Amino acid sequence: ETIGVRSEGRHLNPGSPILAPRSFNCMDPHPDRSIGYAGLSEAEAAARLHRYGPNELPRSKRRDVPAIAIEVLREPMFLLLVAGGAIYLLLGDLQEALILLVSVFVVIGITVYQELKTERALEALRDLSSPRALVMRGGLERRIAGRDVVPGDLVVLHEGDRVPADGVMLECNELSADESLLTGESLPVSKRAAGANIQEMAKPGGDGQPFVFSGSLVVQGFGRVRILATGAQTQIGAIGRALENLEIQNTPLQVQTAQVVRVFAGIGLVLCLAVVVLYGLLRGDWLAGLLAGITLAMAVLPEEFPVVLTVFLALGAWRISKKKVLTRRMPAIETLGSATVLCVDKTGTLTENRMAVAELAAAGLLHHAGHGALPALVVPVIRFAALACEVEPFDPMERAIVGYAADRDAESTRLRGQWRLVREYDLTRNLLAVTHCWREQEGGEVVVASKGAPEAIAALCRADASQTASILDETSRMASRGRRVLGVAHAHFEGGEFPADPREFRFEFAGLIALADPVRRTVPHALKECYDAGIRVVMITGDYPGTALSIAGDIGLKSPGGVLTGDQIERMSNAQLRSRVADVGIFARVAPQQKLALVEALKANGEIVAMTGDGVNDAPALKSAHIGVAMGGRGTDVAREASSLVLLDDDFKSIVEAVRLGRRIYDNIVHAM
């Protein structure tokens, strides 16, 4: 029990066998295995902080006024204005020179104003506070800033904590973590304590790993972690380093305007030379011929183009901001309107990024949540599932169950509020179920509720082979629709002393409860609008193929080529991948480097690619795509800084609205030209 001490400043039991030093290869080249349960000393922690640097990712430098102005002046259109003004000055035509140069300053002013507004809005979206970490220092628990965590630190993790750095689990009490920012998985993954032969960090994703990763969120349980990597050496840091090798490509509008400038500059130069030569040969006045040639060239050059482009794009950025979309790069507005393929992440973009009760099954009846009143047969399922949840749930599934019970079954709320929780049996490896014992009044009967893996619940109920097969068949059908399925059981207990093992209760099977990440209501209609507009939509997710297929069916996403997984992509050549991406619309269990490969393959096929994402794992693909669209609400700083547009409401519908506006703006630019 002394291992679970939470209060700061208290000593742990030095005899604890759980935190005995383990043998593993740490990224720290000088691991101090004598630290053991006590953690680092303050002196050693300070030395390591000096050696490895703070535990934070390098941020891209915030763009100031000179930086934005220089970016504007690099564009060929603006160089044209500056060159024209300079020539007029050399010719002594001060009035024309001032008109052109004032235009330059107006154009720069509009662009700088628009992009500085975006930078300030993005700053407001950042989480400026460094996540705190509970570490062992000299045998004492201490709260420190996350940036002060160093390799070798012993970090204590509780439910609700953000993992400050990559590390290996030394002790694990039913700990689960949400790693969606790194993997795209919509459900938390379970962790286990490390064995003695840990050689290196594995990649994030999947259940049963002994590693935790920086940026992930502990949704359940308790654990102690030895930190192996901090800052840029973490999995998040590796993705950040990969971004440095990607160059932001010019948009189609920038390419087209550069071509226009080259064409007109070439015409102007040819005409200038022709006039100079003809004037000099026919009239013999070469100086007058030179002035006449320059004058004609200046008359031919379209100095209005940069002004038109800047004003229309600035107005477009303002209009799109009204649709909850921030523009980080103004040419991206036109590009989004030109998009032929829209690559979207599933979790949070197509779905709401939360767990919700989807289905309830009991005695052969399947009830879809939200479809009318609860049938009497399934009421015990939600009631006992709620009683098997924590009093103050943090786990997303438990919060969904308790919330649904409160909305649909008032008796559940009354029981949880008035009854007293007298005994809990935690989930274990041998029994994947949680059991809670409730008593209405002192000395009264005890109601026992249990929820967990359907096969574990079937075993608790002592179901025979036929009953177990029926339960598992129904479970398979629900799981095939992308659901997370739990079995629910209940029992009554009148004895005095509670048994040591919940298997000793005489449970009755109540039914099954299925949970899922619900689809956003606006998505099916918005997706249809994309198809009507000739835009192909591709789902790229880190989740499982079954879940991806279920969501695709719910929203009407088309995929003639079926589903392609990350493992299959890994085995393909570039040519094979280019061929498959032409008709596959669903990509599942995809790693960050594979997302990048998919975007590159689509670009190689001549598509104009828009990519949405929120996690660190999405950043390389966001930067590589013609137009990267990051989530502003739940997105990471890394994803936002790699993108061209930022959605403030994280809604797929806003992307479609932005595409519509982008097309209108492009048409206006064409008409103006």
Which residues are the active-site residues? 345
Nearest to 185 by CA among 480, 588, 565: 588
The token pair that represents 584 in the structure block:
């596959």
Q: Is the Cα dihedral 645, 649, 652, 653 positive or negative? A: negative
Per the CB < 8 A criterion, the answer to whether 621 and 246 are in contact is: no
- The widest CA-to-CA distance across the chain, in whole angstroms, is 121
Answer yes or no: are the C-beta atoms of 159 and 218 closer than 8 Å: yes
**Rounded CA Rg of the chain:** 31
Helix axes 94-125, 65-73, angle to 10 degrees: 130
Distance CA 327, CA 662 (A): 11
Q: Using H for helix, E for strand and C for coil, what is the string for 23-52?
A: CCCCCCCCCCCCCHHHCECHHHHHHHHHHH
DSSP 311-351: HHHHHHHHHHHTTTEEESSTTHHHHHHH-SEEEE-IIIIIB
Residue 299, burial from CB neighbour count under 10 angstroms (0-12, 13-18, 19+) = exposed
Token pair belonging to 659? 């595409």
CA separation for the pair 329, 628 (Å, rounded): 10
| Distance in angstroms (rounded) separating the CA atoms of residues 110 and 101 | 14
In sign, the C-alpha dihedral spanning 172, 174, 180, 183 is: positive
Within 10 Å of residue 321's Cβ, how many Cβ atoms?
Answer: 16
Cβ proximity of 179 and 165 under 8 Å: no
* 383's tokens: 């009631």
- DSSP per-residue codes, 499-557: PSSGGGS--EEEEEEEEE-PBPTTHHHHHHHHHHTT-EEEEE-SS-HHHHHHHHHHHT-
d(CA 322, CA 316): 10
Backbone angles phi, psi at 486, to 5 degrees: -125, 140
Nearest to 159 by CA among 390, 435, 404: 390
**Kind of pairing between the strands at 627-631 and 645-647:** parallel
- Measure the CA angle with vertex 10, ends 6 and 13; round to 5°: 90
Say whether 271 sits in a helix, a strand or coil.
helix
